[in-house]
Amino acid sequence: MKVMAQIAMVMNLDKCIGCHTCSVTCKQAWTNREGAEYMWFNNVETRPGVGYPRRWEDQDDWHGGWRRTASGRVVPRLGGRLSTLAKIFANPCLPGMDDYYEPWTYDYDKLLSAPAGQRAVPTARARSQITGRTMDTIEWGPNWDDDLGGSMETLDTDPVLHQMSLRVSKTIEDSFMFHLPRICEHCLNPTCVSVCPSGAMYKRAEDGIVLVDQDRCRGWRMCVSGCPYKKVYFNHETHKAEKCTLCYPRLEVGQPTVCSETCVGRLRYLGVVLYDADRVDWAVSRPDETALYAAQREILLDPHDPEVIGRAAANGVPHSWLVAAQESPVHRLIHDYELALPLHPEYRTLPMVWYIPPLSPVVDAVTASGGDGENHRVLLSALSQMRIPLEYLAGLFTAGDTAPVERSLRRLAAMRSYLRDVFMDAPGDEEIPAAVGMTGQDMEDMYRLLSIAKYDDRFVVPTTHSELPRGLARLEGCPIRGLDDDAFFPTARGKGRHPSIPLQVLR
């Protein structure tokens, strides 16, 4: 067992309102410069839809991710070394400008410098940021599905609908839509790293973040093709590949990513998970695609297990990271509550950005049909007939297996039903959590994490320097009085390791 640490993220889609604040703040922080006009390290897609770049999930066209051969080996869909070298000067598997969009701005100076009293109303026409020419019509954008409000123009070309052979209602009263924020998945088995001819793509051993060495990058763009999520971009000014860095300069000082910090819905959670690096090959080579989600969960380790703690320390995982893994909200949402699911595990990259699926307005639907929306038996039985089909969510998160999706949604619905009684000063009905394999205390703990968790509960990010515990920077230099050294460092005296302040002291 080789225990390694990975920074992971969970997004609660039940709380995403599609405001795009995360996208805008990420854009301002990382891609507000020449050559990066079309890059959106974070974008929010509306589902059903084709996403950004257009139809990024169609691996028959883009050949991203991994495939399992008849012999059981896992190889890049893009091909081996000879195939990569054959395409190195002319790669047919690259999205074009039409698939992304031609970025534009507006001639605001025409509005600001227009003389007063002129007869014609001044306008700010769209102008391409690539060519500088005036654009008469805007035909595509990074959030085009959202601009169209899930219209029929893009609905029929959604790759997930085709993959799951689904036909969804197009009438306004029966249609559905939800928002899907996306960033780089910082996978445990990243294809982009494997297919890079120059070795510029690499995965950091200390935290699992996938980065691009700008000095080594030669602009071959194989990483763009190899990434099945199409979250690697090519800067046409610097001729280098660029991607989401998971805001590692912020993480190194114990702060969350910009998209997490500014999220209006507070739907993002950051934390450390421990995994067995020796079993990554086993997990990605499962013959049945529907077993990949379970295999990915299986290689994630229990941070409270003494054997795991010992192996992690022997492999150089800092003590502060072990503490962070034990308090990680990500581990609780993935392992303890079994709510979070990976995005497209069938790509076999073991993505480390997980999602809690959205729960349809099922209470109103049950009530409108004449049922008792307060009865948990009626509520849980109605989940299979939700407005958002289970099959569609399964096509996104579990390679078509509806059982994990239904379990996650049943637990979310049971939490609402159980807490409704508690908030009405009625005793909690233990039959409700028991129906989904949980207890009443589990329901209350899950509610606190999903609904009213504080900043330090949602973002458990250890600092790079283990002698600077998480949260100490916010004390702004003011000493904590009334505590002696032994209270601060109860486990560090003479142990030969950096001190670690217990989080309860800081609280």
Residue carrying structure tokens 């450390």: 272
Structure tokens at 250: 């912020």
Contact present, 125 and 100 (Cβ < 8 Å)? no
Buried b vs exposed e over 278-300: b needs ≥16 C-beta within 10 Å? eebeebbbbeebbebbbbbbebb
Question: Looking at residue 496, what is its pLDDT?
Answer: 35
The domain ranges of the chain are 1-95+148-357, 471-507
Query: pTM (2 decimals)?
Result: 0.88
| Cα-based torsion angle of the residue sequence 51, 54, 59, 61 in order, rounded to the nearest 10 degrees | 170
Answer whether 378's CB lies under 8 Å from 36's CB. Answer: no
Q: Going by C-beta distance under 8 Å and a sequence separation of 6 or more, which residues neighbour residue 105?
A: 126, 127, 129
Q: What is the DSSP string of 184-225?
A: ----SS-HHHHH-TTS-EEE-TTT--EEE-TTT-----HHHH
Cβ(41)–Cβ(185) below 8 Å: no
In this predicted structure, what is the pLDDT of residue 235? Answer: 96
- Widest CA span of the chain, in angstroms? 83
Cis peptide before 357 (omega within 30 of 0): no
Closest C-alpha to 192, from 60, 355, 66, 280: 66
Q: How many helices (H) and strands (E) does the chain have?
A: 25, 15
User: How do residues 319-337 score in pLDDT, each as one tens digit?
Assistant: 999 999 999 999 999 999 9
415 and 438 Cβ atoms separated by less than 8 Å: no
Question: What is the residue-wise DSSP string for 112-135?
Answer: HSPPTT-SSPP---EEETTT--B-
Going residue by residue through the chain, which has 507 residues, state the pLDDT in tens, using 9 for 90 and above: 999 999 999 999 999 999 999 999 999 999 999 999 999 999 999 998 899 999 999 999 999 999 999 999 999 999 888 887 888 888 888 999 999 999 999 988 888 888 877 777 888 899 999 888 999 888 888 888 887 765 677 788 899 998 888 887 777 777 788 999 999 999 999 999 999 999 999 999 999 999 999 999 999 999 999 999 999 999 999 999 999 999 999 999 999 999 999 999 999 999 999 999 999 999 999 999 999 999 999 999 999 999 999 999 999 999 999 999 999 999 999 999 999 999 999 999 999 999 999 988 776 677 777 776 667 777 777 777 778 889 999 999 999 999 999 999 999 989 988 998 888 888 888 999 999 999 999 999 999 999 999 999 999 999 866 555 555 444 444 443 333 333 333 333 333 333 333 333 333
Cβ-proximal residues to 161 (8 Å cutoff; 6+ apart), any chain = 48, 155, 167, 168, 392, 395
Q: Which H, E and C letters describe 393-435, residue by residue?
A: HHHHHCCCCHHHHHHHHHHHHHHHHHHHHHHCCCCCCCHHHHC
Say what the pLDDT of residue 373 is: 65
Domain covering 1-95+148-357 assigned CATH 3.30.70.20 in the classification: yes
Closest CA to 343 of 417, 393, 305, 383: 393
- Give the angle subtended at the CA of 351 by the CAs of 72 and 288, to the nearest 5°: 35
Other Cβ atoms less than 10 A from the Cβ of 372: the count is 12
361 Cα distance to chain centroid: 23
Q: How far apart are CA 359 and CA 371, in angstroms?
A: 18
Euclidean distance between CA atoms 122 and 111, whole angstroms: 6
Q: State the Cα angle at 301 between 297 and 307, rounded to 5°.
A: 155
Q: Which tokens go with 423? A: 């908030």
| Structural tokens at position 384 | 């299979």
